[in-house]
Amino acid sequence: MPDAGGTKTAMLEIRDLQAWYGESHVLHGVNLDIRQGEVVTLLGRNGAGKTSTMRSIMGIIPKRTGTIRFEGKELIGMAQHRIPRLGIGYVPEERGIFSSLSVDENLMLPPVIRSGGMTVQQIYELFPNLKGRGSTQGTRLSGGEQQMLAIARILRTGANLILLDEPTEGLAPVIIEQIGVAVRALKQRGFTILLVEQNFRFASTIADRHYVMEEGHIVDMIPNDQLAQNMDKLHSYLGV
């Protein structure tokens, strides 16, 4: 498998990652690198292991072997609650907001774990749909607004690596475009983002590189500037 290229030290480095749900072996030697300031996608069919890779990084899957290093610190064997405090934020596919709480309560609930987080005002500038909705209960937000809030909750904490799992799933095209604008703005601010995405057309507008997963391991890495000449191969991988 091609490596990330370049010589810059990886912020996140995964080597020979194996993971199990009970007796089910779901990851089979995952290798990937993400450098600071990159947006990197994990592409693949359903069940390829993309979400399991993210859950392994966060320690949600406890049975893992191999190496997951974030800023030089080994995550395998680390207590799960300590991992976010290193500066890793996770926005799961189910969005993970507290629907009974207001927008402001959702934003203020996660603790600030390090300096460099965004202010609430900066978050509202990034997601103008949420501005003026501070007292609105989570259940009263649209699906797109809930996704924006799920991302926004992480940005206050000071996390500098953001894991986004299917942020555009089920959203209208206009909302997908707004999510794309926000991700590009986060990249300009220096955030590093690992993105699980089925919509590779969306991914191609924001990502630097694309890792392709099949059956629990990485089978290819395609730089975004080489995407056009690799579309036939990508279609084959994704079955589209």
- List the pLDDT tens digit at each of the 240 positions of the chain: 444 444 467 999 999 999 999 999 999 999 999 999 999 999 999 899 999 999 999 999 999 999 999 999 999 999 999 999 999 999 998 777 888 899 999 999 888 988 888 999 999 999 999 998 999 998 899 999 999 999 999 999 999 999 999 999 889 999 999 999 999 999 999 999 999 988 888 999 999 999 999 999 999 999 999 998 999 998 898 886
Q: How far is CA 168 from the centre of its chain?
A: 12
Identify the pLDDT of residue 58. 97
Residues 6+ apart with CB under 8 A from 44: 50, 212, 213, 214, 237, 238
**Residue 29 buriedness (CB in 10 A; 0-12 / 13-18 / 19+):** middle
Residues 30 and 198: their CA atoms lie apart, in Å, by 19
Tell me the pTM.
0.92
- Give me the pLDDT at residue 199, please: 84
Residue 42: what residue type? L
Domains of the chain with CATH codes: 10-238 (3.40.50.300)
At residue 102, φ and ψ (nearest 5 deg) are -75, 170
The whole-number pLDDT of residue 201 equals: 85
The residue type found at 8 is K
- How much is the pLDDT for 222? 95
The pLDDT of residue 2 is: 43
Eight-class DSSP state of 44? -
**Which among 1, 52, 20, 30 is positioned nearest to 217, based on CA atoms?**
30
42 within 8 A of 213, measured Cβ to Cβ: yes
Q: Does residue 210 contact residue 200 with C-beta atoms inside 8 Å?
A: yes
Question: Residue 23, class by beta-carbon neighbours within 10 Å (0-12 exposed, 13-18 middle, 19+ buried)?
Answer: exposed
